[in-house]
Amino acid sequence: MLEREGALAFWLLAPTLALLTLFIAYPFVRGVWLSVTNSVVGVPGDFVGMKNFTKIFDDSIFRTAALNTFIYTAVTTVFKLALGLWLALLLNRSFRGKSWVRAFILLPFIIPTVLSTLAWKWMFDPTFSVFNWLFWKLSIINSRINWLGDPELAMSSVMIVNVWRGVPFYAISLLAGLQTINPDLHEAAAIDGANRFQRFWHVTWPLLLPVTMVVVLFSIIQTFADFQLVYVLTGGGPANATHLFATYAYQIGIGTGLLSEGAAISLAMFPALLLVVVFQLWYIRRVENR
Amino acid sequence: MAIFTRRKFLQASGAGLAGILASHQAPVFAQQSTVHWIKWNDFVPASDELLRKTILPEAMKQLGMKINLETVNGNDLQPRVTSAIQSGSGPDVFMLFNNHPHLYAASAVDISDVAEAIGSAQGGYYKLCRSNTNDGKKFMSVPWAIIGGMIAYRKSWFEEVGYSKFPATWQEYHEAGKKLKAKGRPIGQTLGHTFGDAPTFSYPYLWSWGGKEVDEKGRVVLDSKATVESVKFMQAFWKDAHDEGGLAWDDTNNNRAFLSGTICATLNGASIYIESLRKPDQYKTEKGAPLKSDILHSPLPKGPAGQFGMHTFQSHMVPSYSKNQKGAKEFLKWIHDPKNFDAWFLSQKGFATPTTQVWEKHKMWDEDPVMAPFKVAGRLGLTPGYAGPANRKAAEVLTKYIITDMYAKAVQGMAPEAAVKWAAEEVNKVYAGT
């Protein structure tokens, strides 16, 4: 049987297909179905069409959460990319203890998110914040900074933690990309008189772009659906200032037991993410075919 | 690997069989009846230990069944119950908080026989216990305990600013708090998204001004003069008297702040005082005396419409998927028998108040006058959604933190009328939905 190519391919693909069906396709289809019913915990519910979507779009907390998610993803992605690239360029140089530094850089990414976020929660604590203590000792502030209690500052604090956690992923992935670039190209450009910036802009950046796009794609998807950071740091507060799609969907679906509405909130992410994925895959293909 | 010969096997199994025959009881794994009970990790850890080491072994002996106790973080109970109901398998007895039984009514076994028997034998349930667990058709769960929410305050600090008794009204509390905040000792209160201390403050505060989300007939009446007055008062009260970091607090921040001496008063369960009793050498006043000697408790002050409270409430539901509903009911009946419940109640030292009135007469309440106010916690308590029924809609308003956020928005600078209008619109949408 293994002689026949088609059958072999089928059997090799079967485990992956089974896993994808079980853990991706089935929950997705089930989520779509839930979102068009009036199901609550323990009650399967009936088909209600787009009623849940009408309800959530009329919900001011949902609109806040949607806006928050876009801002959160956009701002953190820019920072993560800039800092990640900078770090990757630094790590691509030769220096003593390079492998140690590379390993340490990964720490924020490796530590379980809930654990590291709890540590951040302590650092932002309204009463015992170590930042406030430090700034006060350095005479930078004379009253406490309300890190998680002020709506704007709370969002900024959540973003800071997300950037801190996300930069290593960018740095290491981009570093891997940098190392595939042939040093001869740089030497040739240098001989032709290109300065450091020109070499980066005309040699490194174009060659790194496909990798960058893939990294950004993954990162946007992950950040858009972020849950743990906000859940641990603020629970979506103060007054919904930090709610994201995922935390609000959880609050409605699991907290209130309105499974169908929770599913609708989760699915509201889907069109936006689909657009991002389609655009980036199209762009990567264009870059590769150039 | 150890070699297991036929001779050894015969010896071991022969001894095992002889043991079973001698004890007249099948080994645990062979018993038909097992009850899986899931509850929160108690804030008084000694109580969970008592259950595991003493109470449950006794229950197993008397009832002839196996009881598995699983304890999880309070916040994890809802995800567990949702997934158990959806998948149709899981624990046989579920601890639920507050009005959550209404969320799971369709999946709860009618447990009226057990609950009514306990209620009538023990002087009747408090109103809040019945509203949280009974939807008018059946008891969805058996009331377990009330975690009384009272203001823990620093006696000496209030005396220093001229209050030998705790302020009786919101105005007095405002004045006292203003003087104390000026001395660097503000009131600590959360207005964050946290299930315990935020709503147990914001709801009774609203009621005490005469504001309600719905009236007796379930009509939304939040946007009222009384509600606007309560929000206006809150804005000034917050700025003058509160620790403004409270907007981000969860249920543990006020405990830490109080124990470290940065706030003068906070609404809480008795856990602050119980912790100070447990570690008298660690928690001290600024004069070096044990902190426990400077803590007293008081209900929330009165407003123009009266004095109210809302307490964290716990009950136990038997889900309809359970294969051992009979065993689960037997167990709940057994543990609520006063002679079995008494030891657990004592181990709580007043942190949890029982749900029936007969326990107010228990001698435990005379042992420590600081804990005495908790004795009647159940009498003052109402349920979210007051003055309407404690139903699914009320639970939705609660889990969306709409009432708490109304105050949070106002203290962040939104005009009181606008904050009330926003909240009323949100409440309207919840009650208008099917």
* Residue B28 scores a pLDDT above 80: no
C-beta atoms of A146 and B245 within 8 A: yes
In-domain check, residue A40: no
Q: How confident is the model at residue B12 (pLDDT cuts 50, 70, 90)?
A: low
Q: How far is CA B278 from CA B44, B47, B151, B283, B396, in A?
A: 11, 14, 19, 9, 37
pLDDT at residue A210, rounded to an integer: 87
- Tally of structural domains, chain A: 1
* Residue predicted with more confidence, A243 or B390: A243
Report d(CA B409, CA A160) in Å as an integer: 24
Residue A252 lies in a domain: no
Q: Using an 8 Å Cβ cutoff, are B122 and B356 in contact? A: yes
What pLDDT shows up at residue B26?
45
Residue of B nearest to A146 (CA): B245
Chain A residues with beta carbon closer than 8 angstroms to that of B247: 126, 146, 148-150, 237-239
Domain for residue A31, yes or no? no
- Structure token pair of residue A127: 């009463």
In a domain, A9, yes or no: no
**Average pLDDT rounded to a whole number, residues A244-258:** 91
CB B265 within 8 A of CB B187: yes
Q: What is the mean pLDDT of residues B362-370?
A: 91
Rounded average pLDDT over B201-214? 96
Whether ipTM exceeds 0.90: no
A209 in a domain, yes or no? yes
pLDDT at B272: 93
Query: For residue B378, is it left (φ>0), alpha (ψ between -120 and 50) or beta?
Result: alpha
Q: Report the pLDDT value the prediction gives residue B6, as an integer from 0 to 100.
A: 54
Helix, strand, coil share (%) of chain A residues, nearest 5:
75, 0, 25
Nearest to B422 among A43, A60, A252 (CB): A60
- What would the mean pLDDT of A71-80 be, rounded to a whole number? 97
Confirm whether A39 is domain-assigned. no
A52 in a domain, yes or no?
Answer: no
- Average pLDDT, integer, range A150-177: 94
Residue B20 has pLDDT above 50, yes or no: no
Task: Report yes or no on A122 lying in a domain.
Answer: yes
Across A150-178, average pLDDT: 94
- Cβ distance B104 to A144 less than 8 Å, yes or no, reads no
Q: Which domain holds residue A141?
A: 64-243+276-289
pLDDT of B1 reads 41
| pLDDT higher than 50, residue B27 | no
- Whether residue A212 has pLDDT greater than 50: yes
With an 8 Å Cβ cutoff, the interface of chain B facing chain A consists of 78-79, 81-82, 85-86, 103-104, 106-107, 191-194, 243-250, 253, 256-257, 260, 262, 392, 395-396, 399-401, 405, 408-409, 412, 422, 425-426, 429, 433-434
What is the spatial distance between Cα B401 and Cα B396, in angstroms, rounded to a whole number?
9
| Residue B133: per-residue pLDDT | 94
Q: Tell me, what DSSP letter sits at residue A45?
A: -
Q: What is the CATH number of the domain that holds A114?
A: 1.10.3720.10
Instruction: Show the domains of chain B with their CATH numbers.
Output: 30-147+312-371 (3.40.190.10), 150-310+391-432 (3.40.190.10)
User: How many CB pairs (< 8 A) connect A and B?
Assistant: 119
* Bond preceding residue B26 cis, omega within 30 of 0: no
pLDDT mean over B349-355: 92
Distance of residue A235 Cα from the nearest chain B Cα, in angstroms: 6
pTM of the predicted model, to two decimals? Answer: 0.84
- Chain A residues near any Cβ of chain B (below 8 Å): 38, 40-43, 55, 58-61, 124-128, 144, 146-151, 154, 234-240, 251-259
